[in-house]
Chains A and B, each alone.
Chain A
Amino acid sequence: GAGVSQSPSNKVTEKGKDVELRCDPISGHTALYWYRQSLGQGLEFLIYFQGNSAPDKSGLPSDRFSAERTGGSVSTLTIQRTQQEDSAVYLCASSRISRSTGGNTDTQYFGPGTRLTVL
């Protein structure tokens, strides 16, 4: 597609429920990232996928958060047993390449985000 797409655009859920957020990266982009944007917190890195390599999960805030990327394209971020503090906008981004030893990494293009509200 022309850009990164995410669904749903808005999700309201009750505390304790599980949610799944979807990201469709730009076609041909091998790197995919998830971020969380909370009021007053800026953008917080969650996880990234690069090709067939093991994902970097170092930003996931707890074991209730997980993500997978199927077929090197679409990614799903799952939050289990949601808590009110999980309320935020979840952003997905993709790029052609990720890190290299020279530190020269490519531009990330962002999707519109999913606004998650946990009641």
Chain B
Amino acid sequence: AQSVSQHNHHVILSEAASLELGCNYSYGGTVNLFWYVQYPGQHLQLLLKYFSGDPLVKGIKGFEAEFIKSKFSFNLRKPSVQWSDTAEYFCAAYNQGGKLIFGQGTELSVKP
């Protein structure tokens, strides 16, 4: 079955540390990839997306992600996290049937 995997369930970092959250998808072909963020008490918001072109995409709030086709990966990165980045992060991809499949989510806690 087509799936999206996030290997880190809960990440705890101190402010100014660098962040990388893993995301892998299970199928080839054309993929449209997303990272969404859900801040405490708020709704899902789009961080960034990849449809085609430059595999390094930049999103809001200093986040970026790199699409590596050979590794079926779309990892999220930020060079220096802030306490306000504490949230749950979801990787998602459209499958070949047109459904948006989500990973299980990664909870990020940033200690001030």
Report which of B30, B31, B46, B90 forms a contact with A109, defined as CB distance below 8 A.
Answer: B46
Report which of A33, A43, A45, A104 forms a contact with B90, defined as CB distance below 8 A.
Answer: A43
Question: Is B61 an interface residue when CB atoms closer than 8 A count as contact?
Answer: no
**B34 to A99, Cβ gap below 8 A?**
no
Interface residues on chain A, number (Cβ under 8 Å) = 26
**B44 to A110, Cβ gap below 8 A?**
yes
Report which of A35, A41, A103, A110 forms a contact with B31, defined as CB distance below 8 A.
Answer: A103
Question: Is A25 an interface residue when CB atoms closer than 8 A count as contact?
Answer: no
**A111 to B94, Cβ gap below 8 A?**
no
User: In this complex, what residue of A is CB-closest to B45?
Assistant: A110
Q: A-side binding surface: helix, strand, loop or mixed?
A: loop
Known: A42-B90, A42-B105, A98-B98. A103 touches B44 (CB 8 A): no
Question: Is A79 an interface residue when CB atoms closer than 8 A count as contact?
Answer: no
**A107 to B101, Cβ gap below 8 A?**
no
Which B residues lie at the A interface, using CB under 8 A? 29-32, 34, 36, 42-46, 49, 51-52, 90, 92, 94, 96-105
CB interface residues, A 8-39, toward B, < 8 Å: 33, 35
**B46 to A107, Cβ gap below 8 A?**
yes
User: In this complex, what residue of A is CB-closest to B49?
Assistant: A107
User: In this complex, what residue of B is CB-closest to A112?
Assistant: B43
Instruction: Tell me the minimal C-beta distance from A73 to chain B in angstroms.
Output: 20
Once the chains are docked, how many angstroms separate the CA of A48 from the CA of B51? Answer: 21
Question: Is A91 an interface residue when CB atoms closer than 8 A count as contact?
Answer: yes
**A108 to B96, Cβ gap below 8 A?**
no
| Cβ contacts under 8 Å, A1 to chain B | none
Once the chains are docked, how many angstroms separate the CA of A119 from the CA of B34? Answer: 35
| Cβ contacts under 8 Å, A41 to chain B | 104
| Cβ contacts under 8 Å, B99 to chain A | 45, 48, 56, 58-59
**B101 to A45, Cβ gap below 8 A?**
yes
Report which of B29, B34, B42 forms a contact with A107, defined as CB distance below 8 A.
Answer: B34
**B105 to A111, Cβ gap below 8 A?**
no
